[in-house]
Amino acid sequence: MRDVAGKVAFVAGAASGTSPGIARSFAASGMQVVVTGESEDHLAEARDLLTQDGGSFRFIPLDVTDRKRLAAGGG
């Protein structure tokens, strides 16, 4: 596997399904992980799950099905 340390990974819906494990794997590989969730509650849950083992995470409230917001850069 090639070196991905310092690269950025984008993980949508990181509080559910396989996403937390994927986000952890990216962080363990040295990646900076951007995590999205539909609500602050989902993000808080993801933050609790993911930050226990360290890693570089940024949490952004974003519904990836909202095309207008995505086109505007998520903000």
Read off the pLDDT of residues 19-60 as tens digits, 9 standing for 90 and up.
999 999 999 999 999 999 888 898 898 899 899 988 999 999
**pTM, two decimal places:** 0.82
Sequence-distant (≥ 6) Cβ neighbours of residue 46 within 8 angstroms? 14, 15, 20, 23, 35, 37, 59
CA angle 62, 32, 25 (to 5 degrees): 95
d(CA 36, CA 25): 16
Give the per-residue pLDDT at 73. Answer: 67
Instruction: Tell me which residue has tokens 């994927």.
Output: 22
d(CA 63, CA 16): 14
